[in-house]
Amino acid sequence: MKKIVGLGLILAVSFGLAGCGSSDSGSDTKESSAKTEATSSAAKESTVESSAAAESDSKATYKDRTLTAPDGVLKITGFERGTDYDGKPMFYVFFDLTNNTKEAQNVQMQYMSFVQAKQNTGATTENLEMAMLMDNPYQEKADLLQKDINPGATVSGVYYYNFADENQPVTFEFTDTMFSFDGPIATEDIQIP
């Protein structure tokens, strides 16, 4: 996103300065042209630095079911099968989440920005939806999803999904942000026990 904004700023500056040419004399045009080139060059250097900073900021790693990203750390701590309010098979994902930003973040939004669950059912691959529960044995952990996590704090929560096919493994895709243009940092197929 920063790259796109930086490119837009370069184009706006370049077009703005290109339209500021003077028709008084040749020396004014040369001077204006030199200023435009200098500004363009400085803008390009600034964009390269911003891009490098953005790339270093977006470095995330995944190891041992733990995603470490600039905005936080998500550690998957366990799984458990259950049934939703209709009696359909579902599963719980237990996690520890740390907020590394400078502002409070909604737990559910931060969780969803880091992980997406899918299943390959043979003919299709389906994004798994949040299960609807009547009686949740982990209601206290589930209630955290609607709360904000303070900067530097860690919470232990639970998220729950319906299976597309309870006999197939679940593919977890881990990303550093919700709208990551670089694709997943890591993908892991997990057979829910």
Which position has the higher pLDDT, 175 or 4?
175
Q: What's the rounded mean pLDDT across residues 95-120?
A: 97
pTM (whole model) above 0.85: no
The pLDDT of residue 129 is: 97
The pLDDT of residue 168 is: 95
Q: What's the rounded mean pLDDT across residues 77-91?
A: 96
Q: What's the rounded mean pLDDT across residues 154-182?
A: 92
H runs (alpha helix) in 19-175: 26-57, 107-114, 139-143
CA atoms within 13 A on the CB side of 20: 14
Token output for 189:
């197929």
Q: How far apart are CA 148 and CA 79, in angstroms?
A: 23
Residue 147 has pLDDT above 90, yes or no: yes
State the pLDDT confidence band at 53, using cuts at 50, 70 and 90. Answer: very low
Q: How far apart are CA 89 and CA 79, in angstroms?
A: 13
User: Which range has the worst mean pLDDT, 18-27, 53-62, 131-140, 143-152?
Assistant: 18-27
